[in-house]
Structure 1
Amino acid sequence: MNEVVNSKTQNTEFDKLLAESINKSNLKEGSIIQGIVSEIEDDVVVVDIGAKVEGRIPKREFIFQKDQKELEAGDKIDVYLESLEDFSGACRLSRSKAKSKEIWAEIEKSFESGELVEGVITGKVKGGLSCEIGITAFLPGSQIDTRPVKDISHLLNIPQKFKILKMDVKRNNIVVSRRSVLEEMHKEVREERFLQLKLDDVVDGKIKAITDYGAFVDLGGYDSLLHSSDITYKRIAHPSEVLKIDQKVKVKIIKVDPEKNRVSVGMKQLEEDPWHKVKDSLKINDRVNGVVTNVTDYGIFIEVENGIEGLCHKDMLTWSQKQNSKPGNLYARSQSVECQILDIDHEKRRLSLGIKQLSPNPWIKFNENNPIGTILETKINSIKDNIIFCSLDEEIDGAIFSKELSWEN
């Protein structure tokens, strides 16, 4: 018990002596003092200023050094004493605040000359990111990258170059851009890569972005357009049906525009044209099986061979005009159907198809069974504009005009 009391007494006396020593020294909070680097860790520099505990300064505060001299244990450096002992018992020091005037002058020179500065992104703030370039700078969200970035974790605490966009000494405000640096780098790479790309070359690429009208393919530093019509001979509703982000693809250069520095590529050009395959195999009046690939107000599209698609106009679906008025009520995508080839145009790559031709024409049978003058019982479906519409058969409708209802007007 006495040993514990003696230990506490010794600690109290030590704290008093240390406090007196600190008071007699130049360790005043809010002042710039000299310290000695005692240890260099992965993320922090440990500095001894003769206080109760050593101070720990983030390494990023040392990043802006014109001479790029490496810090070593034993080096004497100027630091700003923020607090001898904060609420957690730590001594808070700052290198950037001690060197702020010097760093501001150097950054201003870089700004005026258009030089890039090196720094690290430290975290998120309102409207963008916070950067350390020797002193704290603001990186707006629009200046992070050439494309919107959702996850910034891969950018944090990585040394990289920035361009200074604006400086305000009075407000202690610096705005920087990472996007400007990337754009300049991309421009140089694009120009060099563009000169290497030749018409009809087959090159490897990677899908970078997918849009409603196609995809952008990275050809190794140069982005080219892969239009949806050049992806495949098959009908697709959206490029995402056959392509994925970061997918590796082989493409053929189909267009080079030196004036606009644009390159267009195609994937289907590496396949055999399916129309060449069926030139002699498909004939008019042939009955073929196919799959519905699209349904529109004017008819349905049917793929009868891989990459060979034809239109069955709505008038060719059934013998009933009423049913044909809404093709979507009769057929759906991916539905298997049998149809007949009505016309082939190899030059325009058009195929006209019919489905109703596979069933007997109900009008012929109706006329045979009901010659002119036959009296029939019918069911009234609707009355519109003084016309009575009625059903004569499952697929045959009739119309009675008002003047035919009676001999009297």
Structure 2
Amino acid sequence: MGINARNDDERGTNAMDVNNMEQPVTEAQSLGVSPAPTEPEAIPTSESFGDLLGSLDEQTTTTLAVGQMLTGKVLAIGEDLTVIDIGYKTEGVIPTEELQISLKEITIGDEIPVIVKHLESPDGYVKLSYAEAQRKLVWAAIDRAFKTGAPITGRITERIKGGLKVNLGGVEAFLPASQVDLRQVRNLEAWKGREIEARVIKVNRRQQNIVLSRRALLEEEEARRRAQILSQLEEGYIVEGRVKSLADYGAFVDIGGIDGLLHITDISWKKIAHPKEVFTVGEVIQVKILKIDRETGRINLGYKQLWPNPWDTLAERLPPGSRVKGKVTRVTDYGAFVEVEEGIEGLIHASELTWEKRPKHPSKYVSPGDEVLVEVLQVDAQNRRLSLSLRQLQPDPWRLFAETHSIGARVRGRVRGITDFGAFVEVEKGIEGLVHVSDISRRRVKHPSEVLKKGQEVEAIIKELDLAARRLGLSMKELEPDPWEEFFNTHRVGDIVRGKVVRFASFGAFVDVGGVEGLCHISELSDEHVEKPEDVVQIGEELDFRILRLNPEERRIALSARAARHDREPAYTIGEDTGRIASLGEIARQREE
């Protein structure tokens, strides 16, 4: 979030300027710096000129000492040497190149701090050092700035690895790239020669290591300014702002020097994919302050709150059962969204697009941009949900089917699915019925796939039709001849039939005798005593059996392998399995029939 910070020149009025001539003097005095020697007192006129000169030489000589720091005035600036008036009998000189360490240009007449290096020199000048005096003062200022947190002024001299080198007036410091500004600075080279204010965040005098942070000052100033602006704002205020940036989750708006977040859900009452659908960067808009966190300084803004919520009165305008035209805006795997009003979108669930039992992907029925007429199913204003239906405006195929078909009617259809318990057959578009595995054939069927396959056309009889439950029961075996009825009509007790052993029970073996099953009791399998049926016969083995009993009502057939191996006829029973032995007359009459 950017700030309108004062520039470093303006901020410099409160910063520690190690090159301000008034400040170094004060600093020099605190470090024991002496002002320039004053003029010697008047000497009695009775003394000779030689005595006066000697007295002056003696007096001024005693006022200077090597290593002494004092203030001098620049008299002349040469290519190699600069002449300094230090109030001594002779002027002092410093190397002109030392003036380059100053952050400000030094001109004739300026007062600067110097340190006495040599009192006598072959050329008659006192040798001085401005650089040494300046560094001493700067280090004192750096230590004080580090302890108090006061800003210090410096000039950026060059770009180095990881950041910038800063001249503090004779002492070099390091400004890391991450501490230059509030945001990442891409072109550090452009900062060369710029005078800045910064905070000293690390000092190691022994290693001559000084680390600065300009960012720390900017953050503090931003915090003060934000606090001032925040104190003037309240939740509910409507303010003007400028769109600074757009993101997937919202827009940042500058409201008078402080940024607020306008979340994407607070931009419009209708759903939008990205804020760029509504705003452009730089656009001036009005927003409502929704929330202010004065501890963190965060501000949440709203744009849609400037207009009434269309959901509040939607149930009055579009009650359930009403019909409305809309435009398809999006199609997903689970349905289609339709805009019925500005800012109002409803969902047609995939199950409400068609009456088909197995609906296709929603894109097969509608596409974005389609104009559709829908029926309102439900309005949930609190959760902003609107349920719509397309199929309710289409004829209900189940109702039409129930009006034209009844139980016992014969229908044709195509197998759409096969399960362990049966097969689903589509008899009309959107109408599927179940043929249970027990209703597929009169013969025993273990799995529907033994008889049917997907896509096969079949005929069936309607066994059940429940419109409310949308359930249709079908039977294919009703169209087949009844093998039991046929068997009872063509066979009599005492007949010899050929059969195949299909399964065992503890009390005997079940035998397939032409599409129906009969039971050969364990006692009728052999003349010998049998413990288990599988001891004398095998699954799939074909044998001759004599019919002992017939029970058409219960569809039971009693067989005997033992009797079929003998010419004598066993005792027979007819009708119900009562265990009664039939008389010879009954047997004769049955055979005649």
Which residue, 139, 149, 152 being the options, matches 1:114?
A: 149
Aligned to 1:255: 291
Aligned to 1:218: 254
Query: CA–CA distance in 1 between the matches of 2:399 and 2:297?
Result: 63
Query: CA–CA distance in 2 between the matches of 1:209 and 1:58?
Result: 47
Q: Could you tell me whether the CA contact under 8 Å between 1:253 and 1:264 is conserved in 2?
A: yes
Query: CA–CA distance in 2 between the matches of 1:140 and 1:332?
Result: 56
Which residue, 357, 376, 387 being the options, matches 1:341?
A: 376
Aligned to 1:49: 80
Aligned 1:2-401 pairs, distance under 5 A = 48-49=79-80, 62-63=102-103, 71-72=106-107, 100=135, 102-121=137-156, 125-134=160-169, 135-150=171-186, 157-258=193-294, 261-275=297-311, 281-323=317-359, 326-327=361-362, 330-331=365-366, 333=368, 335-346=370-381, 349-372=384-407, 373-380=409-416, 382-383=417-418, 388-389=423-424, 391-401=426-436
Q: Name the CA shift for 1:257/1:74 in 2 (closer, same or farther; >3 Å).
A: closer
Provide the secondary structure at the position in 2 that maps to 1:186: helix
Q: Name the CA shift for 1:357/1:256 in 2 (closer, same or farther; >3 Å).
A: same
Deviates more, 1:225-234 or 1:114-123: 114-123
Q: Name the CA shift for 1:136/1:388 in 2 (closer, same or farther; >3 Å).
A: farther
Aligned to 2:7: none
**CA displacement at 1:391 relative to structure 2:** 4.4
Output the TM-score relative to the length of structure 1: 0.67
Query: CA–CA distance in 2 between the matches of 1:316 and 1:151?
Result: 59
Query: CA–CA distance in 2 between the matches of 1:132 and 1:340?
Result: 77
Number of equivalenced pairs: 341
Q: Name the CA shift for 1:258/1:114 in 2 (closer, same or farther; >3 Å).
A: closer
Query: CA–CA distance in 2 between the matches of 1:190 and 1:357?
Result: 57
Q: Could you tell me whether the CA contact under 8 Å between 1:186 and 1:221 is conserved in 2?
A: no
Q: Could you tell me whether the CA contact under 8 Å between 2:413 and 2:428 is conserved in 1?
A: no
Q: Name the CA shift for 1:245/1:173 in 2 (closer, same or farther; >3 Å).
A: farther
Query: CA–CA distance in 1 between the matches of 2:268 and 2:250?
Result: 11
**CA displacement at 1:159 relative to structure 2:** 3.0
Please tell me the residue identity of whatever aligns with 1:242. V
Q: Name the CA shift for 1:294/1:393 in 2 (closer, same or farther; >3 Å).
A: same
Alpha carbon RMSD of aligned pairs, Å? 4.1
Provide the secondary structure at the position in 1 that maps to 2:410: coil
Q: Could you tell me whether the CA contact under 8 Å between 2:266 and 2:302 is conserved in 1?
A: yes
**CA displacement at 1:390 relative to structure 2:** 5.1
**Deviation string for 1:105-126 (max 9, x for gaps)?**
4323211221112235566544
Provide the secondary structure at the position in 1 that maps to 2:358: helix
**CA displacement at 1:184 relative to structure 2:** 0.4
Q: Name the CA shift for 1:316/1:157 in 2 (closer, same or farther; >3 Å).
A: farther
Query: CA–CA distance in 1 between the matches of 2:158 and 2:357?
Result: 66
Query: CA–CA distance in 1 between the matches of 2:402 and 2:99?
Result: 96
Provide the secondary structure at the position in 1 that maps to 2:411: coil
Provide the secondary structure at the position in 1 that maps to 2:377: strand
Deviates more, 1:351-360 or 1:341-350: 341-350
Query: CA–CA distance in 1 between the matches of 2:430 and 2:98?
Result: 87
Provide the secondary structure at the position in 1 that maps to 2:217: helix
Q: Comparing both chains, which one has the higher relative contact order based on Cα–Cα distances under 8 Å and sequence gaps of 6 or more?
A: 1
Provide the secondary structure at the position in 1 that maps to 2:395: coil
Aligned to 1:43: none
Query: CA–CA distance in 1 between the matches of 2:191 and 2:133?
Result: 27
Using the aligned pairs only, state the percent identity. Answer: 37
Query: CA–CA distance in 1 between the matches of 2:97 and 2:284?
Result: 47
Query: CA–CA distance in 1 between the matches of 2:158 and 2:432?
Result: 73
**CA displacement at 1:321 relative to structure 2:** 4.7
Q: Structure 1: any 5+ residue segments left out of the alignment?
A: 1-34, 39-46, 64-68, 79-94
Query: CA–CA distance in 2 between the matches of 1:97 and 1:391?
Result: 103
Query: CA–CA distance in 1 between the matches of 2:99 and 2:387?
Result: 73
Q: Could you tell me whether the CA contact under 8 Å between 1:36 and 1:49 is conserved in 2?
A: no
Please tell me the residue identity of whatever aligns with 1:230. D
Larger radius of gyration: 2
**CA displacement at 1:219 relative to structure 2:** 1.9
